[in-house]
Amino acid sequence: MTTEEIMAVAQGKAPNETFVLNLGPQHPATHGVLRVKLTMDGEYITRAEPVPGYIHRMQEKMGENRTWAQYLPNTSRIDYLSAMAYTHGYVGAVERAAGIQVPPRAEYVRVITSELNRISSHLVWFGAFLLDLGGFTPLLYAFDDREKILDLLEGITGSRLTYSYYRFGGLYNDVDEDFLGGTREFVAQMRPRLGMYRTLVTENIILRKRLEGIGVITPEQCRKYGATGPVIRGSGIAYDVRKVEPYSVYADFEFDIPVFPEGDSMARYLVRMEEMGQSLRIIEQALAKLPDGPVMAEKVPRVLKPPAGDYCYAVEAARGRFAVLVVSDNKEMAYRIKLRTPSFSNLSLFEEVSQGMMLPDALALMGSLDLVIPDIDR
Amino acid sequence: MSLPEPFRLLAYLLGIMAFVGLNAAYLVWVERKGAGRFQRRPGPTEVGYAGLLQPIADAVKLLTKQVIVPPGADATLFRLAPVVVLAPALMCLAIIPFGPHLVAREINVGLLLLFAFGSINVMAIMIGGWASRNKYAIISAARVVSQDVAYEIPMLLVVITMLMVTGTMDLNQIVRQQAGAFWNWNLFKLAANPLMPVTFVIFYICMLAETNRAPFDMAEAESELVAGAFTEYAGMGFGVFFMAEYANIVVGCAVATVLFLGGWQSPIGILPGAFWFLLKLYALVFSVVWVRWTFPRTQFYGLLNLSWKILIPIALFTLILSSVMLKLF
């Protein structure tokens, strides 16, 4: 069946011999409680309708009845895999609202921990994606590396997944020698591991055949749906919040934005693999430049009452642009918190791009979007 | 043979059933242990020494579970499928020569019988998938049929090539022809057909596809089709499918051993034939486990393309080549 024929069925011009396949909310490939209603013609997808909302927790509404500080732990739980960046987004927005200056040491540590967290998030994606493609073994190798990152972060934050490490004006506590030495060691260990993944996994012929030319997303589609992160960079647009609107101290570092113009699943795969190497570069530079000094701004009031107004702060999370808009009316709670999460926009692409694809290819596409379900539902 | 014929057959029947049962149970253990080692983890360790009692614990668990027939399913076919999947594998083992005299039934059309019975397990998976009345199971059943049609052809072409080289369908006769050191094995009979190793590789790939093993596990494809045709099976119904998978691997590897690796022939002339047969057999089985934990799954159409566009032309070429060689020399 050609794509035209499928389109004819989809537009009602040909007899409908399709059936509805319910992918999820409990399905091994959706990695969470995402449900996709697939209209199938044999193994071809004529329509894919994502049905989010199974893990909707009213994260935005919760911001309106908690104090500024009480809302802080929530941010780690939106995208639990890149919790550091999400806390960074919220903390940054509140700091901008309250006009708090963060000391340089705190900013550098934020960059180091955010980048470590990005690597660990990409490692989870790497393992889970290969699992979607039917390869079990890389998952265990990836988790081996991720374990080292979690141990490092646990040492300074006391938590392995939902860190809440950044506070308004700085950090919860200073980093110690164990962390700095451990991170240096990790960077040295991780480089050869990335080389190993390249030779063992990236160059595997079955993997390349499964990903090359599958799920091509055009730059126009990216713009239409507001896709960001590795998805847009895999479509040839060098959009990275760290470069286009540098926040924190990212302007001080030298790093490249990996861009692949093909727009297929392989391009998105390669973007993430390259990004891990770039994150290592940033960590290395930040460790070398790490200044001394306090990690907490002086005179941060116990009860924050930022002046009335709208404040926005965007960060590059592992899945793309995460932006927080806080609206303050000079009270101890926010008037409104709006979260712009990357997975939601990236999922929106799925319906259009998956049309006419075969089920396994569509799942490869979904895996390459790197969806985190609480990030979609919030 | 000192035993009268009916008792001899009964003894072999029991032996083969025990062999299949033990293999199914302990290949699961080998698979899990092997997977563990490939993934830098220990695998099962808790039940018994090095987890050796794990298969028994699993079997007890599966046996005590209720066998659920989902509402709306075709109950008769649903119950029939696990039987149909395991029986042919047992049949095939009856004619495999484990040693010079260790064979339940020597048949002069053994090869034909093997492939006749070998094709039945496809039908069983199809019946199971269809009877489940589950969309994932039906997709899987459809996949299995087209996959096996595609891979039966290169496999049989390879077997015809082998038939030309050996000139007999009697498995024991085929093994006897390969006596002596390892260069007498069919795998290295380059004088009969210079592409013999290629033939073996084609046979091996087809065997993986026929037994629905990774990277060609389209029937199960757990990240796409949940558990494919086995989605609705619980308890021992599932357990029998699981056993049949390993029984089919053993049969497939046994056939490869007989056809290409000299069966029970010892390359150095010591130790009994059964030892060498099992050694070769389990070396192949281990390679099957190794492949599973190394490669990702292929695409379904990639799989069909591999068969129709690559394997069948090569198999045809080797067939023609060996007939030409046969005519010339």
Q: What stretch(es) of chain A map to CATH 1.10.645.10? A: 59-377
The gap between the terminal CA atoms of chain B, to the nearest Å, is 40
Q: What's the CA gap between A43 and A18, in Å, rounded?
A: 10
Q: What's the CA gap between B232 and B238, in Å, rounded?
A: 9
Rounded mean pLDDT of A179-202? 90
**pLDDT bucket at A120, cuts 50 / 70 / 90:** very high
Total Cβ atoms within 10 A of residue B150: 20
**pLDDT bucket at A282, cuts 50 / 70 / 90:** very high
Q: What's the CA gap between A192 and A194, in Å, rounded?
A: 5
Does residue B1 register a pLDDT over 80? no
Q: Among the residues of chain B, which ranges form H helices?
A: 5-38, 54-64, 75-93, 110-118, 120-131, 135-166, 171-177, 196-210, 222-225, 235-260, 273-292, 300-305, 312-328
DSSP A253: S
Does residue A198 register a pLDDT over 70? yes
DSSP A333: B
- Rounded percentage of chain A residues whose pLDDT exceeds 90: 19
From the number of C-beta atoms within 10 Å of its C-beta (0-12, 13-18, 19+), residue B57 rates as middle
- Of residues B325 and A92, more confidently modeled: A92
**pLDDT bucket at A296, cuts 50 / 70 / 90:** confident
Does residue A250 register a pLDDT over 60? yes
pLDDT of residue A283: 92
pLDDT of residue A1: 55
**pLDDT bucket at A122, cuts 50 / 70 / 90:** very high
Which member of A21, A29, A135 has the closest CB to residue B295? A135
Closest CA in chain B for residue A137:
B39
Residues forming a β-bridge with B290: none
Least confident of A32-46, A225-239, B113-127, B264-278: B264-278
pLDDT of residue A19: 82
pLDDT of residue B19: 85
Q: What's the CA gap between A71 and B229, in Å, rounded?
A: 47
Q: What's the CA gap between A90 and A70, in Å, rounded?
A: 12
- Residue A360: its chain B contacts at CB < 8 A? 221, 224, 297, 299-300
pLDDT of residue A117: 92
The pair phi, psi for residue B261, each rounded to 5°, is -105, 20
Q: Which two tokens stand for residue B289?
A: 């486990």
pLDDT of residue A150: 92
From the number of C-beta atoms within 10 Å of its C-beta (0-12, 13-18, 19+), residue B216 rates as buried
Average pLDDT of chain B is 83
B62 contacts B235 by C-beta, under 8 angstroms:
yes
**pLDDT bucket at B239, cuts 50 / 70 / 90:** confident
- Residue B302: its chain A contacts at CB < 8 A? 206, 209-210
Q: How far is CA A87 from CA A80, A165, A168, A200, B61, in A?
A: 10, 8, 10, 35, 45
- Of residues A106 and B218, more confidently modeled: A106
Close Cβ partners of B259 (under 8 Å, ≥ 6 residues apart): B159, B162, B174, B186, B203
- Residue B38: its chain A contacts at CB < 8 A? 137
- Residue A27: its chain B contacts at CB < 8 A? 226
Q: Where are the domains of chain B?
A: 68-328
Closest CA in chain A for residue B299:
A210
Close Cβ partners of A280 (under 8 Å, ≥ 6 residues apart): A115, A119, A187, A190, A191, A194
Q: Which CATH class is domain A59-377?
A: mainly alpha
Least confident of A15-24, A114-123, B25-34, B238-247: A15-24
Contact B136 A21 (CB under 8 A): yes
List pLDDT tens digits, range B48-99: 888 888 888 888 888 888 888 888 888 888 888 888 888 888 888 888 888 7
